[in-house]
Structure 1
């Protein structure tokens, strides 16, 4: 069991949590909220960002310029059906999404969603710790490593776990501040 592998897995869990946070609206236009939108294109689900250029010309607008004009209505439908809560405006060549200002109730809901994503990230980190500790215990039981080595490795894994959970808490704190800032 290599500590570097455990750390790598934990880092990926933190990055996944960060990507989840990026999909939460904060009242300002952010193209990342469209990352999870899939468009039914020629019979297969395709990520929106591979079908269109996405830009944010100002703080309250996202524009989507399809590479293939024939996919304009498909993209509009996919955005309407998604859970981002925005209504697309189609002018025949480009789709505009107007980001309305968030109400205080909606901000509080989004903070709860962010907390849920953070908890999922922490659970993922803890699962990685559990798997690593189980592996160490098996190695100790099979006499592959000594009891002292096992204890040291478990302590190091716990330190990594604490480090990455505090990283997730820090990212959550930043996201909450971002959401609650008017």
Structure 2
């Protein structure tokens, strides 16, 4: 029953399909899956054979792929996206990461700035961008000027682009703090969505699993999301 429901739930996932095929090839694992979350095993009476460890490990690995792996991947992506967003926000200190999101029109395509030039912070108020191909300097200057929220006025000097960095005003710092807070709240919202999706997957695949085991797995999911939310708050 659990195997069938899980297959219907994740039928479009090639990774999950491979897991299900492994279960189908090893019927004894199905029984183990139904109690895969339990921490204790009942002791057998007399000389009853003990359940094989490899089958249990296999089932645990499969459940980790079906539930833990998608949740962890989603939370990691959410945190990484927030870190990237915050790096592009200038609160005072100047760093090369301000230009990470900059894309340059080069060779008939949009290229990340880092692939066509080197960014160096010359001083707290000046950044120098050295183009690997001097002919790209005007395109690099335009891309820098178009960076949203920075209002920069770059100048072309030979094969370099010189970027004066004005110190942010009090109003600008306040706006950046507000934008950073909004980005963090959006990341927390995505984390909660990942929690909801994990709970839904667990609910649809919980046939034959004890209520205690389902609650234990649900609690583990909540702990992972709570830890991710704490990390988001600290960024």
With the length of structure 1 as denominator, give the TM-score of the two structures: 0.86
The residue correspondences of 1:70-149 to structure 2 (distance < 5 A) are 70-83=135-148, 84-140=150-206, 143-149=207-213
The corresponding residue for 1:23 is 88
Equivalent in 199, 218, 231 of residue 154 of structure 1: 218
Tell me how far 1:4 sits from its aligned partner.
4.2
Task: Indicate the SS of the match to 1:63.
Answer: strand
CA distance in 1, matches of 2:219, 2:153: 51
Greater mean alpha carbon deviation, residues 131-140 or residues 14-23: 14-23
Where do 5+ consecutive residues of structure 2 fail to align? 1-62
Query: Whose RCO is larger (CA < 8 A, sep 6+)?
Result: 1
SS in 1 for 2:205: helix
- Partner residue in 2 for 1:175: none
Distance of aligned partners of 1:65 and 1:4 in 2 relative to their CA distance in 1, 3 Å threshold: same
Q: What is the distance in 1 between the residues matched to 2:189 and 2:74?
A: 13
| Partner SS, residue 91 of structure 2 | coil
Cα contact 1:88–1:95 (8 A) shared by 2: yes
Pairwise CA RMSD of aligned residues? 1.5
Structure 1 residue runs without a partner (length 5+): 172-182
Larger of the two Rg values belongs to structure: 2
**How many residue pairs end up in the alignment?**
169
Question: Structure 1 pair 11/144, CA: closer, same or farther in 2 (3 Å)?
Answer: farther
Q: Secondary structure at the match of 1:86?
A: coil
Q: Deviations over 1:22-60 (max 9, x none)?
A: 110122221111111111112211111111011112222
TM (norm. structure 2) is: 0.68
Structure 1 moving runs of 4+ over 6 Å: none
- Distance 1:95-1:76 versus aligned 2 partners, 3 A rule: same
